[in-house]
Amino acid sequence: MNSSSNPYLIRRIEELNKTANGNVEAKVVCLFRRRDISGNLNTLADSNAREFEEESNQPSLTEQQKHQLKHRELFLSRQFESLPATHIRGKCNVTLLNETDVLAGYLDKEDCFFYSLVFDPVQKTLLADQGEIRVGSKYQAEIPDMLAEDESDTRVQEKLETKVWDPDNQLKDPQIDQFLVVARAVGTFARALDCSSSIRQPSLHMSAAAASRDITLFHAMDTLQKNNYDLAKAMSTLVPQGGPVLCRDEMEEWSASEAMLFEEALEKYGKDFNDIRQDFLPWKSLASVVQFYYMWKTTDRYIQQKRLKAAEADSKLKQVYIPTYTKPNPNQIMVPGSKPGMNGAAGFQKGLSCESCHTAQSPQWYAWGPPNMQCRLCASCWIYWKKYGGLKTPTQLEGAARAGSVSPRAHMTRQEVQGMSPFTRNEGRAKLLAKNRQTFILQTTKLTRVARRVCEDILQPRRAARRPYAPINANAVKAECMIRLPKATKTPSKSKSVPRQSLANIVKELAISAPLKLKASRGPPTPINRNQASQPRVAQSLLGKRGFDSAAGGAFPANGRPYTSGMRTTSQSVIKRQKVSQGEAPNPVVFVATKDTRALRKHLTQSEMRRAARKPHLLVRIKLPPPPPRSVPLLPSSTSETIVLED
């Protein structure tokens, strides 16, 4: 189908850019419909939808609502495109599906869609969106009942939590502050002794700033807790025998090149830390990436990038004027007398109904589907098709419209098509048919049988019988039948009752009229020895249909030749043949031409050859030329002279 008959594409605008020639382009993110993905992925999406309905306790929906709800589901992707702004036709709302949402509410809203899965166009996979907001009953904390006044808590506190600070300690606040200053000084001295830290922070000011970070304060307070708030023991723990303790956080552990990679990944993926770690920093842990992000937000680097992005956003286009699209739609079915449209709109039959809502009246009709199907939609269903990519009611022709063309074997599987091939053996065909789907029966309704008689001029049964592969628009025929049915005669046609004979009489008549079949005599087996090939025998054909009778002249077998010396049939093979089944044989009889057979063909005229080819059941008679006289060697004449033999 052409682009004018396809549904609208749904894209999310990221930014608007102005090109050098003055045109406006939109950088967009692609979103896909169900009709854009494969059948296996649709099955996966159906199972995900069923799980969502069970977990969120959605109210029951009708079949039509379920069908229309699939048109509201989209699949987000990471694929970006640049499109001209003139291609924009309207605005819609796409939201992430939440457990608190009611699916039926999307059907009540116009131009409203939802998504819950992410589609990868390259890998052809569907994955759950990582940005899901965990809202619902299964994500809530379980709060135990409140204890009574005299009831004691029997839980083991050590298993529930770990105590890291006691506010009711014996130290005063000035003493704790003095200990924290000592811890910072020890951290600065430890960085001066460390070679790697002296390279990263070459100045004393930078080392002191790094030692004043939260990791040093947390270590100092943890040291007081472990030593029961004894300052002397805590001091000795800060400076053990081997040297002062050096505490580093993620901001110090990461190198400058790793920080640049993180900023590049953050620009591409946003706060999707799983993708950042997988594609840019696989040697880092997920916890390390998250910690570095929140520490990086406290630096001047983050503030500078934020200002640059704000200035860049101010310089970009925020809105653009798009004029109304007024070009004529080539799928419109024009009224008689006007210029005909495209896509087969000029040859539409009268009396056809809408393919979706089956209405017969509409201010404007649109051609829909393949041109040879002669399908059309009313104005409201056409707008629904363009917006949501489907019909309001499920129909069989909707799948044909997606494919763009109708194949006579489009509904068959590959095994069924191979089974219909004349080159497939019977054994292989039986194996293929055993794997096919369950057979089905098409039962004709009364309305269909009546429509065949009333709408015979539209149906054209003779033409349809000659072209069984051409599709028939049954809905249009039935719609026309409903219009013509009240005008047709209401007097039923009188049918003559024909008496039927009993089954016993029919069997007797068939037995009397059946010809008597004689059993063909079976000849001796085919010899293996080449010397026995000249022995006379009566052999059967390859499939055992009838035997070939030898003749020395006169009448010949069907379209055959006299069996002269040196001439053999298929049953007179020199070597032993393998038994061939009836399904594997390409023809009922195989004729092997010999030199004598080809020589006899030369004695047939062209008219006789044509007559034999057109009527192979008639006998062929050949007038053989008389054999040439044999040449007798000349012998010396007898004389009366004596012959003398000398010794």
Taking CA 1 as the corner, what is the angle to CA 406 and CA 351, rounded to the nearest 5 degrees? Answer: 70
Residue length, the chain? 647
Please check whether residues 124 and 17 belong to one and the same domain.
yes
Q: 320 versus 155: which is more confidently predicted?
A: 155
* Segment of 262-276, 322-336, 555-569, 602-616 carrying the highest mean pLDDT: 262-276
Q: 200 versus 338: which is more confidently predicted?
A: 200
Residue 514: exposure state from Cβ atoms within 10 A (0-12, 13-18, ≥19) = exposed
Token pair for 511: 């037995």
- Taking residues 23-51, report their average pLDDT: 90
Convert the pLDDT of each residue in 265-280 to its tens digit. Answer: 988 888 889 889 998 9
Q: What are phi and psi of 311, to 5 degrees?
A: -70, -35
Q: What interhelical angle do 286-296 and 256-269 show, nearest 10?
A: 90
* Segment of 79-93, 123-137, 245-259, 632-646 carrying the highest mean pLDDT: 79-93
Please check whether residues 241 and 292 belong to one and the same domain.
no
- Taking residues 207-230, report their average pLDDT: 85
Question: Confidence band (pLDDT; 50, 70, 90) for 378?
Answer: very high
Residue 485 carries which DSSP code? Answer: G
Please check whether residues 473 and 379 belong to one and the same domain.
no
* Segment of 193-207, 249-263, 386-400 carrying the highest mean pLDDT: 249-263
Q: Considering only 41-50, 343-352, 599-608, which range has the smallest mean pLDDT?
A: 343-352
Please check whether residues 388 and 482 belong to one and the same domain.
no
Question: Confidence band (pLDDT; 50, 70, 90) for 386?
Answer: very high
Question: Confidence band (pLDDT; 50, 70, 90) for 361?
Answer: confident
Please check whether residues 217 and 301 belong to one and the same domain.
no
Please check whether residues 43 and 70 belong to one and the same domain.
yes
Token pair for 338: 């006007």
* CA–CA dist 5, 79 (Å, integer): 24
Which has the closest alpha carbon to 366: 340, 395, 330? Answer: 330
Q: Is the pLDDT of residue 255 over 60?
A: yes
pLDDT number for residue 302 = 87
Q: Is residue 502 part of a domain?
A: no
Please check whether residues 206 and 273 belong to one and the same domain.
no
Q: Is the pLDDT of residue 589 over 80?
A: no
Please check whether residues 70 and 48 belong to one and the same domain.
yes
Q: Is the pLDDT of residue 609 over 70?
A: yes
pLDDT number for residue 442 = 73
Question: Confidence band (pLDDT; 50, 70, 90) for 9?
Answer: very high
Q: Is the pLDDT of residue 600 over 70?
A: yes
- Taking residues 312-327, report their average pLDDT: 74
Question: Confidence band (pLDDT; 50, 70, 90) for 7?
Answer: very high
- Taking residues 392-407, report their average pLDDT: 53
- Taking residues 512-537, report their average pLDDT: 51
**Is the CB of residue 133 less than 8 Å from the CB of residue 96?**
yes
pLDDT number for residue 541 = 41
Residue 270, phi-psi category: left (phi > 0), alpha (psi -120 to 50), beta (remainder): left
* CA–CA dist 160, 156 (Å, integer): 7
* Segment of 223-232, 474-483, 612-621 carrying the highest mean pLDDT: 223-232
Q: 413 versus 482: which is more confidently predicted?
A: 482
Q: Is the pLDDT of residue 299 over 50?
A: yes
Q: Is the pLDDT of residue 565 over 70?
A: no
Q: What is the CATH number of the domain that holds 379?
A: 3.30.50
Last residue of one domain, picked from the residues 203, 219, 248: 248
Q: Which residues pair with 73 in a beta bridge?
A: 114
* Segment of 4-18, 196-210, 304-318 carrying the highest mean pLDDT: 4-18
Q: What is the CATH number of the domain that holds 192?
A: 4.10.1240.50
Q: Is the pLDDT of residue 347 over 60?
A: no
Q: Is residue 578 part of a domain?
A: no
b/e string for 371-382 if b means 16 or more Cβ within 10 A? eebbbbbbebbb
Please check whether residues 118 and 56 belong to one and the same domain.
yes
In sequence order, the 6+-apart residues with CB closer than 8 A to the CB of 326 are: none
Q: 73 versus 557: which is more confidently predicted?
A: 73
Q: What is the CATH number of the domain that holds 274?
A: 1.10.10.60
pLDDT number for residue 534 = 43
Q: Is residue 189 part of a domain?
A: yes
* Segment of 248-252, 377-381, 486-490 carrying the highest mean pLDDT: 377-381
* CA–CA dist 75, 128 (Å, integer): 10
Q: Is residue 287 part of a domain?
A: yes
In sequence order, the 6+-apart residues with CB closer than 8 A to the CB of 271 are: 293
pLDDT number for residue 344 = 39
Last residue of one domain, picked from the residues 317, 342, 366: 317
- Taking residues 363-377, report their average pLDDT: 85
pLDDT number for residue 113 = 94
Q: Is the pLDDT of residue 6 over 50?
A: yes
Q: Is the pLDDT of residue 342 over 80?
A: no
Please check whether residues 211 and 281 belong to one and the same domain.
no
Last residue of one domain, picked from the residues 248, 282, 307: 248
Q: Is the pLDDT of residue 566 over 50?
A: no
Q: Which domain holds residue 474?
A: 446-488
- Taking residues 1-19, report their average pLDDT: 82
Q: Is the pLDDT of residue 114 over 90?
A: yes
Helix, strand and coil content of the chain, in percent to the nearest 5, comes to 40, 10, 50
Q: What's the pTM value of the predicted model, to 2 decimals?
A: 0.44
Q: Is residue 310 part of a domain?
A: yes
CB atoms within 10 A of CB 123: 8
Mean pLDDT (the chain) is 75
Q: Is residue 151 part of a domain?
A: no
pLDDT number for residue 439 = 58
Token pair for 143: 């709060």
Q: Is the pLDDT of residue 593 over 70?
A: yes
What residue type is 260 in one-letter code? M
pLDDT number for residue 74 = 94
Q: Is the pLDDT of residue 379 over 70?
A: yes
Please check whether residues 14 and 123 belong to one and the same domain.
yes
The structural domain count of the chain equals 5
Please check whether residues 375 and 470 belong to one and the same domain.
no
Convert the pLDDT of each residue in 403-445 to its tens digit. Answer: 443 344 444 444 444 444 444 444 444 343 344 445 567 778 8
Q: Is residue 483 part of a domain?
A: yes
Q: Is residue 520 part of a domain?
A: no
In sequence order, the 6+-apart residues with CB closer than 8 A to the CB of 444 are: none
Q: 425 versus 310: which is more confidently predicted?
A: 310
